A = this chain, B = another copy of it.
Amino acid sequence: MSLATGLYLDIVRRALDEDLAEAGDLTTEACIPADSRSVAEIVVRRPGVVAGLEVGASVFRTVDPEVAVELSAVDGERVEAGKVVGRVEGRSRSILTAERTALNLMGRMSGVATATAELVDAVAGTGAVITDTRKTMPGLRALDKYAVRMGGGRNHRFGLHDAVLIKDNHIVAAGSITDAVVAARARVGHMVKIEVEVETLEQLDELLTVGADVVLLDNMDPDTLGQAVEKVSGGMVTEASGTVTLETVRAIAESGVDVISTGWITHSPPQLDIGLDFVG
């Protein structure tokens, strides 16, 4: 699935504004002749899954529509260290001015994709789907969620606005799981899914009586997860969350849950090291 251009161009412009403010690129304008031209390669320095190549390319074009960027990889592609994923050609000043902003975006997005892919690999063959959460970088949610898809994951809801997820605090305030679900069903439209978080098998029993589209099994060990999956027995989609790491994710997946959601892939993924080398 693709990413709308308009959406990321605002992010690109904001990032460039941070870097250029009113005075612009002092160094480049002082030291580089206006007519100097260069060719540079975008190189991934560590193995990983790339994402945001087109976003990064748009930074160069935003700075200067006459800079040409030719990509030699596609978002979602696994690459080795040293892989040249793009070639940039045009005014040296423009390339230097855009460089850092472009690399910051590509490095971040590829970092998210790579972290996601590691978890996806770890659960290979189990049928479990890896999804993100709402623990994304403020202002970058669309890019983060896109990068998750490029890493082989799927997206959980995009925000508070597109699905119902009843968590512990909602249940307390509503009185009970049953009350909360009944209230939700009475008010939201027929196109909105309802998910309910449970922390114990007892809570799950209550939920099974009233029903929902998805159950979030929070912080359960693999054994308990297995029992929960058995209880649900296909009546709802099952989702596990809590303490999902590269070490724990396989066992969680083998419990039979449909979906595993994790905040780590968007709140703390190491960026993928991507650089720009001038080659001419």
Using a CB–CB cutoff of 8 Å, the interface residues on chain A facing chain B are 1-4, 6-7, 11-16, 18-34, 36, 38, 62, 92, 96-97, 100-101, 103-105, 107-108, 111, 129, 131, 134-142, 145, 154-167, 169-170, 172-174, 180, 183-184, 186-193, 195, 213-214, 237, 239, 258-259, 267-271, 278
Contact = CB atoms under 8 A, between A and B. Distances in A.
Contact of A38 (B6, B31, B111, B173): B173
A269 B271 CA distance: 9
A134 to B, nearest CB: 5
Given A15-B138, A170-B27, A189 B22 contact: no
Contacts of A6: 13, 16, 62
A142 B22 contact: yes
Given A1-B29, A21-B22, 9 more contacts: A6-B16, A26-B188, A27-B164, A31-B166, A100-B135, A100-B160, A137-B137, A192-B193, A268-B269
A145 B24 CA distance: 12
A22 B158 contact: yes
Count this chain's copies in the assembly: 6
8 contacts: A2-B34, A7-B20, A7-B24, A18-B22, A25-B161, A30-B188, A97-B160, A104-B137
B173 A31 contact: yes
Contacts of A190: 129, 131, 154, 156, 193, 214, 237, 239, 258-259
Contact of A1 (B101, B131, B137, B187): B187
A109 to B, nearest CB: 10
A93 to B, nearest CB: 8
A101 B138 contact: yes
B24 A174 contact: no
A181 to B, nearest CB: 8
Contacts of A170: 27-28, 31-32, 96
A14 to B, nearest CB: 5
